[in-house]
Amino acid sequence: MSDPLIDVDNVSVTLGDTQILRNISFSVPAGSFVALVGPNGAGKTTLLRTVNGVLSPDAGSVSVDRQDVDSLSPRSVARLVATVPQDTTVSFSFSVRDIVAMGRTPRQSRFGRSDQQEPVERALERTRTAELADRSIGTVSGGERQRVLLARALAQETPAMVLDEPTASLDITHQVRTLELLRTLVDEGTTALAAIHDLDLAARFCDALVVISDGRVLADGPPESVLTESVLEQAFGGDSQVHIHENPATHSPSVTTLRPEDTYTPGHE
C-alpha cells in the first residue's frame, strides 16, 4: 500500500436534473482492490463512469496517478484506467482475440502498421482465455465473456482498472472464480475499483469497501470495520434488519438479511 492511485475528491455529479453524487471523497491505494457497495440507485455506476472519464463532475475532481481525469483526452484516460463494462452486447462476430486486441487501441498510433501482439497474448494467458482466442465472442458463455473483457482491460496495460458489477450475471462458481482472478491480478500489481453487489464476496476478496447510499459515502475502510449492522441498515433502508457473523469457511464477514418475522436475538445462535 502506498500513495492513492485513484483519488476521488469531493465529487458531485448531476445527470439531467437529478443530482446523483454529492461530495464524494475516497481514495484507492496503489495495488489494492476496493469494492463499491450500496443499494441499487446509490450512484455506484455513475461514480465509476466519473472515474473513467465518461462523465464530467459538476464539482470536485477525480485524479488517477495524480492526473486530473476530466482534463485529459479520451486516449490519455484510456492509458490510465481500463474499464470492464457490466455487459457488452457485440452483435458482430469478432473473435475473442480481436476483442482483447481492441484493448491496445489507446496505445497504438493510427498509422502504426503492426499490432503489438505480445500484451494481447499475455492477457489471454493470464485470464485463461487463450484457448478461446479464435472463437467468436458471440459463442462464449457469460463467465467466459467476463474473462475476455478482463483480458481486454489487461491488454490496455493501465495502472488502474474499474469494473461495473463484474459478477452480476454469473453463477456462484463463476462469481468466485472471476473475483479470484481479479484478486490475483491485483496481487500482481493492478489496482482495481469494482462495484460489487454481493457483500459477502466483496468482504472476502477486497482490501477495502466503500459504502455508498443516496450519492454519499456512508463508510469507507476494511471490510470488518465497514460491515456493521448500523452502516448496512442505514445504507439499505430502515426496514432491513441484518445479522453479521464470521463465515466459518472463509473467515470473512458474512451478512444475512432478516425478515421481520425471523426471530433473532443477539448472542443466542
Partner 1 sequence: MDRWKRILGWSLGLSALLVATIVWSVTVGPVAVPASVVVKATLNAVAVPVSVAIDPGTSATLAHVPWVGFDVSFVRPFSFSVPRAQQVIVTRIRLPRIVLAAVVGFALATAGTVMQGLFRNPMADPSIIGVSSGAAVGAVALLVFGLSVPFGIQGAAFLSALITAFSVYLIATTNGRTPVATLLLAGVAVQTFLGAVVSYMLLQAGESVNAVLHWLMGDLATASWDDVTVALIVALCSFAVLLVFARDLNVLLLGEEEARTLGINVERTKRVLLAVASLTTAAAVSVAGVIGFVGLIVPHMLRLLVGPDHRILLPTSAIAGAAFLVATDTVARGGATQLPVGIVTAALGAPFFLYLLRQREVHRL
Could you list the residues that contact partner 1 (CB under 8 A)?
Answer: 49, 52-54, 73-79, 81-83, 85, 88-94, 98, 102-103, 105-106, 108, 110-111, 114, 156
Instruction: Report the DSSP beta bridge partners of residue 116.
Output: none
From CA 104, how far away is CA 154, in angstroms rounded? 9
CB of 37 to partner 1, least distance (A): 22
Residue number, 28 or 149, with CB nearest to partner 1: 149
CB nearer to partner 1: give 84 or 211. Answer: 84
- Closer by beta carbon to partner 1, 163 or else 231: 163
Least separation, in Å, of the C-beta of 65 and partner 1?
A: 16
CB of 30 to partner 1, least distance (A): 20
Q: Which is nearer to partner 1, 110 or 251 (CB)?
A: 110
Alpha helices in 52-141 (DSSP H): 74-78, 96-101, 117-126
Q: Are 71 and 102 in contact (CB under 8 A)?
A: no
* Smallest separation (angstroms) from partner 1 to the CB of 177: 23
Which residues are bridge partners to 216 per DSSP?
213
Give ∠ CA 202-139-106 in degrees, rounded to 5. Answer: 65
Q: How far is the CB of 241 from partner 1 (least distance, A)?
A: 38
Task: Please name the residue that has the C-alpha cell 463463476.
Answer: 174
CB 44 within 8 A of CB 65: no
Q: Please tell me the distance from the alpha carbon of residue 192 to that of residue 160, in angstroms, as a whole number.
A: 6
User: To which H or E segment does residue 201 belong?
Assistant: helix 199-205
In this structure, the chain runs to a length of 269
Nearer of residues 49 and 126 to partner 1, judged by Cβ = 49
Helix %, strand %, coil % for the chain, to 5?
A: 35, 30, 35
Residue whose CB is less far from partner 1, 5 or 231: 5
Instruction: Report, in Å, the least distance between residue 56 CB and partner 1.
Output: 12
